[in-house]
Chain A
Amino acid sequence: MSVKFWGGLGILLTAVMACEGHGIAARPVEDGIGIQAVYDDGYPVAFGDVKVFAPDRADKPALEGLTDRNGCFMFRPDTNGTWRVTVDDGMGHAVSHELYFDGGKSAAMQSKEPVSKRHGVMTGLSLIFGLFGWIAYLRGQRAERRRE
């Protein structure tokens, strides 16, 4: 009996220890960084393919995944430096973004504020007509010189 008892107990303990050995635990982690991919009309790139390139390995992605339904993707770098994140919606749209990570303090490299749409349109139209007007002026002058 005692052989059966101790044998059974041994097997049980071994099984419990084995289970503990393969168990996983989860704990919250802070200081992650991430991006949100959006189309130019503000709609999120939901479930787009994401590749993350570490600072020291630009040729092979360190991490791959998908954006969530809001176009967000978060990760926690293990190396300081500039991390590159590419998002591809599989339909011809893709974007590459660089994030700088420095021991828990991260800042987007491309943090400059884009021009507001109204100002951008006005500036763009002015530059287009100005540029082509200038081209027309130069060509007109050249044509006049040839006539002379």
Chain B
Amino acid sequence: MHVCEGVLGWPVLAAGGAVAAAGVAIGLRRMQVEDTPKTAMLAAVFFVASLVHVPFGPGSVHLILNGLAGIVLGWAAFPALAVALFLQAVLFQFGGLAVLGVNTVVMALPGVAAYYVFRALYGTGRGPMCVFVLAGVLAAGTVLCSGLLLTGALAWGGRAFLRVAGGIVTTHMPVLVADGLVTGAAAVFLLKVRPDVLPPSRRESRR
């Protein structure tokens, strides 16, 4: 789900760059020193996940895992994904430097939204199945929202919104399912091994 160089006009690139810069600044400001290792770990997971392709039907799919990064990191997902996307652009020519801002916003903003929804609903049930379903659905929703944001960026550049949206949603259905399953499983694993890595529910943070 990378936009490449030369596809979007400068107003879209400038807006994407400005929003991404603000997101990275907020993320760095809110990131505590003790959060740095998990931020680095999730940046590394995101960086590698999109390089591993799994054969599916006539083509192949790869994980995105921006939902997992968003749920665990919150606003720190912005710097984490910005660094990963920058390295993907420089090392593998995925995306590009001019579109780095747009790609960062497309990937990180839905992740931050997933963080807040997870926090709001986390306290209502803490069983492994509850966490699996919650994290899985949010991860799938994050991929869907990223697709819609990407469609919006392309539509701003003059593409037909519905045609592009239909194509993006259709092709990313397997990714949606795969991301949901992996994120759900990862959240359950964290709940059992290191529950403090998951974000605290609203009630806990009020205390």
Query: Given the complex, which residues of A lie within 8 Å of B48, measured CB to CB?
Result: 121, 124-125
- Given the interface contacts A91-B167, A121-B51, does A114 sit within 8 Å of B151 by beta carbon? no
- Complex Cα gap A72–B147 (Å): 27
Say whether B47 contacts A40, CB under 8 Å.
no
Q: Residue on B with the closest CB to A131?
A: B83
Cβ proximity bits A113-124 to B, threshold 8 Å, 1 near / 0 not: 011010011011
Interface contact A125-B47, CB-CB below 8 Å = yes
A40:B83 contact, CB within 8 angstroms: no
Contacts A40-B94, A43-B59, A140-B33; A92 near B51 (Cβ below 8 A): no
B84 at interface, CB cutoff 8 A: yes
| Alpha-carbon distance A140/B168, docked complex (angstroms) | 43
Give A140 to B3 CA distance when docked, in angstroms.
36
Closest Cβ neighbor of A110 among chain B residues: B93
Q: How large is the interface on B (under 10, 10 to 19, 20 to 34, 35 or more residues)?
A: 35 or more
Contact check, A90 vs B33: say whether CB atoms are below 8 A apart.
Answer: no
The answer to whether B92 touches A86 (Cβ under 8 A) is no
How near does chain A come to B72, taking the closest CB pair, in angstroms?
A: 14
Which residues of A, 106-147, contact B by the 8 Å Cβ criterion?
110, 114-115, 117, 120-121, 123-125, 127-129, 131-133, 135-136, 139-140, 143
With an 8 A cutoff between CB atoms, is B183 at the interface?
A: no
Q: A115-B92, A132-B43, A136-B33 are in contact. Are A90 and B167 (CB under 8 A)?
A: yes
- Please name all residues of chain A whose beta carbon is closer than 8 Å to the beta carbon of B84 when the two chains form the complex: 124, 128
By a CB distance below 8 angstroms, the chain A residues around B43 are 128, 132
Tally of A-B residue pairs with Cβ under 8 A? Answer: 102
Tell me the A54-93 residues at the B interface (CB within 8 Å): 84, 86, 88-93
A120 touches B167 (CB 8 A): no
Residue of A nearest to B168 (CB): A92
Given the complex, which residues of B lie within 8 Å of A120, measured CB to CB?
91-92
CB pair B88 A94 closer than 8 Å: no
Report the separation of the CA atoms of residues A94 and B59 in the bound assembly, to the nearest whole angstrom.
17
* Contacts A40-B92, A121-B48, A133-B40 given; does A91 touch B171 at CB 8 Å: yes
Nearest chain A CB to B131 CB, angstrom units: 26
Write the chain B residue with the least CB distance to A96. B6
- B13 to chain A minimum Cβ distance, whole angstroms, is 13
A41's partner among B37, B60, B167 (CB-CB below 8 A) is B60
Using a CB–CB distance below 8 Å, which chain B residues touch chain A?
1-7, 28, 33, 36-37, 39-40, 43-44, 47-48, 51, 53, 59-60, 62, 83-84, 87-88, 91-94, 147, 150-151, 154, 163-164, 167-168, 170-171
6 residue pairs, one from A and one from B, having the closest CB atoms: A96-B6, A91-B167, A132-B40, A136-B36, A120-B91, A92-B168
Query: What are some 6 contacts across the A-B interface (CB < 8 A)?
Result: A84-B6, A92-B147, A95-B6, A117-B51, A123-B87, A124-B88
Q: A96-B4, A128-B84, A129-B40 are in contact. List 15 more A-B contacts (CB 8 A).
A: A41-B53, A91-B168, A92-B1, A95-B4, A95-B7, A115-B92, A121-B47, A124-B84, A128-B43, A128-B44, A132-B43, A132-B83, A136-B37, A139-B33, A139-B36
